[in-house]
Amino acid sequence: MIEVGCVVFSVILYSSYYFAKKSYGQYKEVHCTFCEKMATQYTENQLPVCRLHLKGKMEEFKCLCGSWLEQRSGKYGPYFNCIKCGIVNYKKGMEMRKLQPVSEVTSTHSVVSTNSVVGITSISSTSSTASNFVKETARNTTEDKPNSRKSRETTITTDDVEYFS
């Protein structure tokens, strides 16, 4: 019976001996949102970033349910807010970001990233075909809207009681 107590006691010592030792500055590591380096600064949106990505902005992306995630910052750091799911942890939101395709590649080898909420198209290429592509997409977005509203003229006189009561 004494041996059983010694075995249990030695297991407790063995398990507590191999925990990582906490030292100042090593227990909380914050990584850059864009490149996974050590974050040293915060952006205007309170995102932790390295010095190279201080002026960078994170693109909007969707939650797994299909609605847009809104980036916010609070007392305990940055987090995301989904309309359907509610508050989403920052780490889970960043994992969702990695699962979604960020950009599309066209046949001219220029990278096109689209933001469907605002309808802005930006191209990261220096070729003249890229500038032509932007002009064509701008024309297509204005031409696609049907002109369903017809102008209707309303004349108001002082005899109309409906408008002045």
| Predicted confidence pLDDT, tens digits, the chain (165 residues) | 445 554 544 545 555 556 667 777 667 788 888 888 899 998 888 888 999 999 888 888 889 898 999 988 888 888 999 999 899 998 899 888 888 775 543 333 444 444 444 443 444 444 445 555 555 555 555 554 555 567 788 777 766 666 665
Predicted local distance difference test score (pLDDT) of residue 68: 92
| Cα distance between residue 9 and residue 6, in whole Å | 5
The SS3 of residue 160 is coil
Predicted local distance difference test score (pLDDT) of residue 21: 73
- DSSP notation for 55-76: T--PPP-B-TTSSBEEEEEETT
Do 56 and 43 form a contact (C-beta atoms < 8 A)? yes
Work out the angle at residue 62's Cα, subtended by the Cα atoms of residues 61 and 67, and round it to the nearest 5 degrees. 140
Predicted local distance difference test score (pLDDT) of residue 135: 55
pTM higher than 0.85, yes or no?
Answer: no
Predicted local distance difference test score (pLDDT) of residue 24: 74
Predicted local distance difference test score (pLDDT) of residue 120: 39
